[in-house]
């Protein structure tokens, strides 16, 4: 007797003339298909959408930076002449630079009365400070006015990612125009290294920071008031990493199979229960008639 390969068929077919369609079954079938379509579209949206996950670890993420952090500063001093404005940088490694001018620009404001300072510079990855002051001016003004507006202060690469909301420009928009003109301003920054890795594995290095500030009047050893805008920084040992991920294809297929199989199974049980109850009710009614 020849071997019949059809014996392995676990999905044996029932002839149509042995099946009975019902209105209840039709309604359940339509609802079942609509429900499957809804879940399928929801899962498809989740599969297409890129997910951004984050993690924390202790390390220096950008080891190729040479121990440097790029800084971008944009600040307006509407009541201080540009020839008086200067940027000084110092840190615990012994750096002490007065009147930093590389990659910086001074733009006169209010017909030359004020100044807008824009600078790109680097700092060492050690505690230190940089400050805007009149220290580098050849002649110190009698009453320098340090009221200001900070447009931008950022560290590292600029991250323009929709799913990442962090304090990358925490001081952007800080307005001190109504403060004491002779007051010094201290901004205490805690810098947090941040890594963003896209789906291709490319990494960008940026820095978030928290800020606290105070305002005070500082006197020199000669008794003169020499105000400044100080940015004192320290680095956190904790690194935040954001990683773009997309749901694996096998997981998407597994979920779709589970949706289809589970929905049809539940719908079949429901239809069977309703049909059985309906048949039982019909028998009860026939029994009462007889």
Q: CA gyration radius for the chain?
A: 35
Q: How far apart are CA 176 and CA 148, in angstroms?
A: 5
**154 vs 282 pLDDT, higher one:** 154
Cα dihedral 116, 181, 86, 154 sign: negative
Please give the distance of CA 241 from its chain centroid, rounded to a whole number: 10
151-167 residue pLDDT tens: 999 999 888 776 777 78
Burial 68-88 (b: 16+ CB within 10 A, else e): ebbbbbbbbbebbbbbbbbbb
Q: Tell me if residue 24 falls in helix, strand or coil.
A: helix
| pLDDT reported for residue 126 | 93
User: What average pLDDT does the structure give for the chain?
Assistant: 86
Q: Which residue has the higher pLDDT, 1 or 254?
A: 254
Is residue 164 packed enough to be buried (19+ CB in 10 Å), middle (13-18) or exposed (0-12)? middle
Nearest to 145 by CA among 75, 231, 232, 229: 229
**pLDDT at residue number 148:** 97
The predicted-structure confidence for 64-73, as pLDDT tens digits, reads as follows 777 899 999 9
- Integer Cα distance of 90 and 228 in angstroms: 14
Given pLDDT bands bounded at 50, 70 and 90, which one contains residue 189? very high
- Domain ranges in the chain are 22-52+246-278, 59-237
- List % helix, strand, coil for the chain (3-state, nearest 5): 30, 35, 35
Per-residue pLDDT tens over the stretch 82-131: 999 999 999 999 999 999 888 999 999 999 999 999 999 999 999 999 99
CA–CA gap between residue 61 and residue 280 (Å, rounded): 71
Phi–psi pair at 59, nearest 5 degrees: 180, 165
pLDDT digits 0-9 by tens, 233-250: 999 999 999 888 877 888
Is 70 within 8 Å of 155 (Cβ atoms)? yes
Q: Is 227 helix (H, G, I), strand (E, B) or coil?
A: coil
């Amino acid at each position: 007797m020849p071997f019949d390969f059809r014996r392995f068929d676990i999905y044996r077919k029932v002839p149509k003339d042995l099946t009975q369609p019902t209105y209840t079954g039709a309604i359940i079938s339509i609802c079942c298909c609509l429900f499957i379509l809804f879940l399928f579209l929801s899962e498809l949206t989740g599969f297409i959408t890129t997910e951004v996950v984050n993690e924390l670890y202790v390390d220096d993420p950008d080891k190729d930076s040479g121990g440097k952090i790029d800084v971008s500063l944009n600040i307006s001093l509407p009541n201080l002449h540009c020839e008086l404005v200067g940027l000084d940088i110092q840190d615990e490694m012994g750096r002490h630079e007065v009147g930093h001018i590389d990659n910086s620009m001074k733009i006169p404001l209010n017909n030359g009365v004020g100044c807008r300072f824009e600078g790109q510079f680097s700092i060492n990855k050690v505690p230190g400070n940089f400050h805007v002051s009149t220290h580098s001016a050849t002649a110190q003004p009698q009453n320098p006015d340090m009221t200001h507006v900070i447009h931008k202060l950022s560290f590292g690469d600029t991250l323009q990612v929709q799913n990442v909301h962090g304090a990358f420009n925490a001081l952007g928009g800080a307005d001190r125009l109504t403060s004491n003109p002779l007051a010094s301003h201290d901004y205490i920054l805690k810098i947090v290294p941040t890594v963003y890795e896209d789906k291709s594995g490319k990494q960008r290095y940026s820095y978030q920071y928290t800020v606290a500030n105070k305002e005070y009047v500082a006197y020199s050893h000669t008794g003169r008031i020499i105000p400044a805008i100080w940015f004192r920084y320290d680095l956190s040992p904790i690194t935040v990493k954001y990683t773009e991920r997309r749901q694996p294809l096998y997981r998407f297929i597994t979920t779709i199979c589970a949706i289809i199989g589970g929905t049809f199974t539940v719908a079949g049980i429901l239809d069977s229960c309703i049909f059985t109850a309906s048949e039982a009710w019909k028998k009860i009614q026939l029994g009462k008639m007889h």
